[in-house]
């Protein structure tokens, strides 16, 4: 009889590893029609990330890569994999974390990220929203998640420049990119996020080394390397924005590898439109950072949060 151990969604069963042939505990990768032992899985995962880096020239010799880390399974797996790959591919790795100023949630989040960076041996930079007069909160027509996303995107640009990074990496996964693309398609926008955005107007190159990697593999990599992962849900999280992901999971169940094949087809059908590359930039009137408008997004938000609550609420109606 086959014995099964399942640790937090990463299920190991007895079997024979397809790569080394050992009869031991193995992980089934239905997405790739593979069964691998722990050792071979870790190498398989790292090779996969390396292939993405090389295919799109995301990072190489002499680069300084700033990786935005949330402490969750995806950016944690990428942190540990990039640390190894940096040694063999000769690029430098730094981690960047935004403390989102959301009470106990953010405090615990930072604790985990600090432990991860130390364990990985990667220097960590922490930026506190509070120090910049910023908050994750509803603003005018924007909900808190949209504000958080805008803050993170702008801060990544700003901090990467300050750290003199040649590339900023995020841990957007296959599922993230599919979800984003589908939401666009449903409103007749034919646009697929690209694995790499070239540098423009003083902004560094942006790279997504996990675009071809399903989330399940990131979790498995963290579990099998036994690294801590921050698993608390963000206080602003709602199921609404993520419901479509279930559609892809169902498709994957009835057609293994369907998610990856769908993304590859969509990328081929809708080649890059470089309007995505942000328009020409001038220095922000307040902070001097490159901006598409008079005031950059961060300064606009900081200004909004600095106004008295009644003034803000008055402006928020309608
Ligand atoms: P999200 O906007 O939560 O989907 O995250 C997208 C990417 O941003 C992640 O893959 C991380 O690389 C990065 N990220 C998310 N949260 C943080 C954070 N608090 N600090 C730094 N980077 C983050
Ligand atoms: Zn093996």
* 14 φ/ψ angles, rounded to the nearest 5 degrees: -75, 140
Residue written as token pair 């697929």 = 192
Pairing state between β 10-16 and 4-7 = antiparallel
302 C-alpha vs ligand 1 centroid, how far in Å?
A: 20
Atom of ligand 1 nearest to the CA of 171: 10
Residue 311 confidence (pLDDT): 66
Identify whether the C-beta of residue 132 lies closer than 8 Å to the C-beta of residue 302: yes
Question: Which residue, by CA, sits nearest to atom 6 of ligand 1?
Answer: 172
Which residues does 148 contact at the CB level (< 8 Å), separation at least 6?
A: 100, 136, 236
Angle (CA) 74-204-278 rounded to 5° is: 95
Sign of CA dihedral 272, 273, 275, 276: negative
256 Cα–ligand 1 center, Å: 28
Residue 75 Cβ < 6 Å to ligand 1: yes
DSSP 8-state code for residue 72: S
Query: From ligand 2's centre to the CA of 198, what distance in Å?
Result: 37
- CA of 99, closest atom in ligand 1: 19
Q: Which atom of ligand 1 is nearest to the CA of 68?
A: 22
Q: What is the full DSSP assignment across 247-309?
A: HHHHHHHHSTTHHHHHHHHHHHHS---GGGSPPP-EE-TTT--EESSSS-HHHHHHHHHHS-H
Strand bridging mode 205-207 / 167-169? parallel
For ligand 1, atom 1, name the residue with the nearest CA. Answer: 149
Taking ligand 2, which is a single-atom ion, which protein residues have CB atoms under 5 Å away? 17, 19-20, 37, 40
- Model-level pTM greater than 0.85? yes
Of all ligands present, the nearest one to the C-alpha of 67 is 1
Structural contact between residues 268 and 146, judged by C-beta atoms closer than 8 angstroms: no
List beta partners, residue 139: 142
Query: What's the pLDDT at 263?
Result: 96
- Let me know if 32 is exposed, middle or buried by CB neighbors in 10 A (0-12, 13-18, 19+): middle
- 171 close to ligand 1 (CB < 6 Angstrom): yes
Which of 130, 129, 49, 128 shows the shortest CA–CA distance to 93? 49
> What confidence category does residue 209 fall into, taking pLDDT thresholds of 50, 70 and 90?
very high
pLDDT of residue 290: 80
Q: Of 100 and 146, which is predicted with more confidence?
A: 100
186 CA to centre of ligand 1 in angstroms: 25
Q: Name the token pair of 23.
A: 């009869």
Distance 1 CA to ligand 2 centre (A): 21
| 24: exposed, middle or buried (Cβ count in 10 Å: 0-12, 13-18, 19+) | middle
Q: Which residue's C-alpha comes closest to atom 9 of ligand 1?
A: 171
Residue pLDDT, tens place only, 137-196: 888 888 898 899 999 999 999 999 999 999 999 999 999 999 999 989 999 999 899 999
Q: Which residue from 197, 173, 187, 189 is spatially nearest to 263, judged by alpha carbons? A: 173
**Residue 211: closest CA among 257, 172, 267, 265:** 172
Closest residue to atom 15 of ligand 1, CA basis: 70
Is the model more confident about 164 or about 318? 164
> What are the pLDDT digits (tens) for 222-268?
999 999 999 999 998 888 777 888 999 999 999 999 999 999 999 99
Nearest-CA residue for atom 18 of ligand 1: 70
Ligand in closest contact with the CA of 26: 2
139 closest CA partner among 264, 265, 309: 309
Helix (H) or strand (E) holding 29: strand 23-29
In angstroms, the CA 175 to CA 194 distance is 14
**What six digits make up the tokens of 79?**
């942190």
* Dihedral sign computed on CA atoms, order 234, 197, 80, 221: positive
Q: Is the CB of 98 under 6 A from ligand 1?
A: yes
Q: What tens digit of pLDDT does each residue of 7-25 get? A: 556 899 999 999 999 999 9
Pocket flag, ligand 1, residue 68 (CB < 6 Å)? yes
């Amino acid at each position: 009889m086959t014995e099964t151990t399942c640790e937090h969604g990463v299920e190991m069963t007895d079997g024979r590893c397809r790569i080394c042939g050992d009869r031991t505990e193995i992980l089934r990768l239905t997405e790739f029609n593979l069964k691998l032992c722990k050792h071979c899985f870790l190498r398989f995962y790292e090779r996969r990330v390396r292939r993405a880096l090389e295919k799109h020239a995301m990072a190489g010799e002499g680069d300084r890569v700033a990786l935005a880390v949330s402490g969750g399974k995806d950016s944690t797996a990428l942190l540990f994999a990039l640390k190894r790959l940096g040694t063999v591919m000769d690029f430098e790795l730094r981690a960047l974390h935004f403390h989102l100023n959301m009470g106990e949630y953010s405090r615990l989040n930072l604790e985990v990220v600090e432990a991860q960076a130390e364990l990985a041996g990667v220097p960590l930079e922490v930026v506190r929203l509070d120090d910049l007069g910023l908050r994750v909160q509803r603003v005018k027509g924007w909900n808190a998640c949209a504000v958080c996303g805008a803050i993170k995107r702008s801060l990544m640009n700003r901090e990467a420049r300050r750290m003199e990074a040649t590339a900023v990496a995020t841990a957007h996964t296959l599922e993230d990119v599919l979800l984003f693309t589908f939401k666009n398609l449903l409103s007749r926008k034919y646009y697929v996020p690209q694995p790499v955005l070239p540098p423009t107007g003083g902004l560094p190159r942006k790279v997504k080394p996990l675009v071809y990697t399903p989330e399940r593999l990131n979790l498995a990599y963290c579990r099998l390397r036994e690294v801590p992962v921050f698993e608390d849900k963000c206080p602003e999280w709602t199921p609404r924005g993520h419901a479509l992901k279930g559609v892809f999971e169902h498709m994957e169940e009835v057609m293994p590898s369907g998610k990856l094949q769908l993304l590859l087809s969509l990328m081929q059908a809708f080649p890059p439109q470089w309007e995505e590359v942000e328009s020409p930039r001038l220095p922000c009137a307040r902070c001097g950072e490159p901006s598409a408008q008079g005031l950059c997004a961060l300064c606009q938000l900081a200004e909004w949060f600095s106004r008295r609550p009644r003034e803000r609420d008055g402006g928020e109606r309608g």
